[in-house]
Structure 1
Amino acid sequence: MRVSADRDVCVGAGLCALTAPAVFDQDDDGLVTVLTPAPEEQDRPAALEAGGLCPSGAVRVAEEPSEP
C-alpha cells in the first residue's frame, strides 16, 4: 500500500489525522502531512478509511501489486 496526499487541494478538515493518526498528521496550517507513505499492516484499514473520508480528495491510497 502506498499513501500520498495533495496538499494543494487539502481543505484541512483533519479527518485523515483523526482516522489514521499513525499515517497522517496536520501541519501548523492545518494541511495534511503523510507520516508513513507505506503503512504497516495494522494501520492499513484506517488509511483506507481516511482516503474514503477525505472531503477534498487530497488523500490517495493505492494498493501495490502483489509480488508473484
Structure 2
Amino acid sequence: MAIEIFRERCIGAGNCVAVSPKYFDLDDDGLVILKQDVIDEGDLDEVERAAAMCPALAIELQS
C-alpha cells in the first residue's frame, strides 16, 4: 500500500503529523509533506487513521 498526498487540498491542520510523524510533516508554508510513501508492515492502522483525520481529504491510500 502506498500514500498519495494532495498538497493543493491541504489546509495545514497538522492532524496527520500528530498521528503519524513517521510519514507526514509540514513544510515552512504549513502544508503537508510526505516523508515516506510506502507503508511499512504494522503501520497501516496508524496511516489510515491519519488519512481519516485530515479535514481537507489531502491524503489517500493506494493499493
Cα-to-partner distance string for 1:8-63 (whole Å, 9 max, x where unaligned): 0100000001101001111011100011110211322111001100000001123x
More helix by share: 1
TM-score by length of 2: 0.92
Corresponding residue for 2:39? Answer: 39
Corresponding residue for 1:28? Answer: 28
- Secondary structure at 1:41 match in 2: coil
Unaligned 5+ segments in structure 1 are none
Distance 2:36 2:29 in 1: 20
CA RMSD of aligned residues (A): 0.9
Corresponding residue for 1:50? Answer: 50
Percent identical among aligned pairs is 35
Bigger Cα Rg: 1
Q: Which runs of 4+ in 1 moved over 3 A?
A: none
